[in-house]
Amino acid sequence: MAVLPSSSSTLELTISMPGFASSQSLPSSVRDLDINQIPSGGAEEEWMTMNMDDEEESSNGGPPRKKLRLTKEQSRLLEESFRQNHTLNPKQKEALAMQLKLRPRQVEVWFQNRRARSKLKQTEMECEYLKRWFGSLTEQNRRLQREVEELRAMKVGPPTVLSPHSCEPLPASTLTMCPRCERVTSTSHDKGPTKTPNNATTVSTKVKSRQSPATC
DNA sequence: TCGGACTAGCCCTTTACTTCA
DNA sequence: TGTGAAGTAAAGGGCTAGTCC
């Protein structure tokens, strides 16, 4: 299993640039449109207002906000900066905004959205991993149940389970399945050392906390 | 030392807009 | 040409930590 994060806060993802791939198929006239360039054919003042001026305008009953597409270069620089740091201090934000000819608020919002996308991707990957883990545990459980049935059926055979206390072999007839954790135990409910599945120790703490209480 | 007011930054949810199939 | 889905920029509200008085 290759995708297990060591911790949810430290997962590094390689995510394709949002909207970047899809933009490749755009007509060049659209793809190369630079939102920071003044559109030809007038409306210069409006354009400057939308890009650099007071951002409260649209919330005060002004003209409806216009959704802007970031250019490839802006996206590239933002991604690059995001790779170095997932958060920006005010100075970095200001500098980046200057460099990109955007408002600091736009840079801030972009980072917020980018963090959200990153988190979403991470959650999806964790979900996928847990699904697969669940599947393999289910299969393992099935196998163990079959094994128990077989052992019960062949009572005459030599016992294969040792008591953790006495190290004496336990008769198969004394073995039961714990209804809670579905582990095979002896009827004396010995508390021997338990082992988690191979990867269990690397699952995030959230997952760990949902495991059954150590009653078995 | 404690607590209330204020501020900045972040997250989460929602909205608005664009693009594409 | 119309439409729904997906992607994403932006807005707004809530929470929290830090600072000041």
Domain end, chosen from A98, A131, A153, is at: A153
Does any domain span residue A84?
yes
Same domain? For A82 and A128 the reply is yes
Cβ(A122)–Cβ(A98) below 8 Å: no
Q: Decide: CB of A55 under 7 A of nucleic strand C.
A: yes
**C13 C1' – A30 CA distance, angstroms?**
35
Does any domain span residue A28?
no
Sign of the dihedral defined by the CA atoms of residues A6, A7, A10, A15, in that order: positive
- As ranges, strand B nucleotides with an atom below 7 A of a protein CB are 8-13, 16-21
Phi first, then psi, for residue A176 (nearest 5°) are -135, 165
Does any domain span residue A55?
no
Cβ(A167)–Cβ(A160) below 8 Å: no
Q: What are the residue ranges of helices labelled H in A154-216?
A: 205-209
Does any domain span residue A208?
no
Q: What are the residue ranges of helices labelled H in chain A?
A: 20-23, 28-31, 44-52, 72-84, 90-100, 104-153, 205-209
Chain segment A162-205, per-residue pLDDT in tens:
666 665 656 555 555 555 555 555 544 443 333 333 333 333 33
DSSP state of A107: H
Domain end, chosen from A105, A138, A153, is at: A153
In this complex, the nucleotide whose C1' atom is nearest to the CA atom of residue A111 is B10
- The whole-angstrom separation of Cα A105 and Cα A21 is 25
User: What is the reported pLDDT for A174?
Assistant: 56
Question: Packing angle between helix A104-153 and helix A72-84, nearest 10 degrees?
Answer: 60
Same domain? For A133 and A78 the reply is yes
Same domain? For A129 and A101 the reply is yes
User: What is the reported pLDDT for A214?
Assistant: 34
Chain segment A84-125, per-residue pLDDT in tens:
888 888 888 888 888 888 888 889 889 999 998 888 888 888
User: What is the reported pLDDT for A177?
Assistant: 55
Residue A78 has pLDDT above 70, yes or no: yes
User: What is the reported pLDDT for A168?
Assistant: 60
DSSP state of A186: E
Same domain? For A134 and A180 the reply is no
The CATH number for A124's domain is 1.10.10.60
**B21 C1' – A174 CA distance, angstroms?**
63
Cβ(A212)–Cβ(A181) below 8 Å: yes
Q: What one-letter code names the amino acid at A137?
A: L
Q: Which residues touch strand B (CB under 7 A)?
A: A 22-23, 25-27, 30, 33, 64-67, 69, 87-88, 90, 108, 111-112, 115-116, 119
- The whole-angstrom separation of Cα A7 and Cα A115 is 16
In this complex, the nucleotide whose C1' atom is nearest to the CA atom of residue A15 is C7
Give the confidence band of A70 by pLDDT, cuts at 50, 70, 90.
confident
Q: Give me the domain span that covers residue A175.
A: 157-186
**Total structural domains in chain A?**
2
